[in-house]
Amino acid sequence: MPQVNAARPLLLRKDVLLGSPLWAVMDVYGTTKAIELLDSGASPCATATLEVPGEEAEPEPKGEECVICCHRAANTRFVPCGHPHFCSSCAWRIFEDTAKCPMCRWQIEGVAAVQTQRTGEDS
């Protein structure tokens, strides 16, 4: 009967200190949100929020949230296609990187602010 882990160990990375805690960093689209301690003695839910210098805590968006970061309010639209599903930060990054709308793949000529409508929730 074959044994589990009976093969010769495979070196994946050199210079990793095995006596110290090993951390995994989850980076999605350049915005690191959490880090996790990969240690057999640690709790399986051991995560910590990473504070990003210079980034203020933003209130929850009212209305539609950005479909890219799912964090900030969608407050811009692409010209000429008109898709309004993006925050200004993500919209400008897409415009500078690819200049193609991720919804319809049209060439983006510009980014415009979206007029927000009041729904009466704040009154």
pLDDT of residue 101: 92
pLDDT of residue 115: 74
Topology (CATH) of 58-123: Herpes Virus-1 (3.30.40)
pLDDT of residue 95: 92
Cα of 76 vs its chain's centroid, Å: 18
Q: Which segments in the chain show pLDDT lower than 50?
A: 43-52, 55, 121-123
Contacts of 51 (CB under 8 A, 6+ apart): none
pLDDT of residue 77: 92
CB-count exposure of residue 76 (10 Å: 0-12, 13-18, 19+): buried
- Can you name the residues that pair with 79 across neighbouring β-strands? 110
pLDDT of residue 47: 43
pLDDT of residue 45: 47
User: Whole-model pTM?
Assistant: 0.46
Listed residue (76, 52, 71, 49) closest to 60, CA to CA: 71
Domain ranges of the chain: 19-55, 58-123
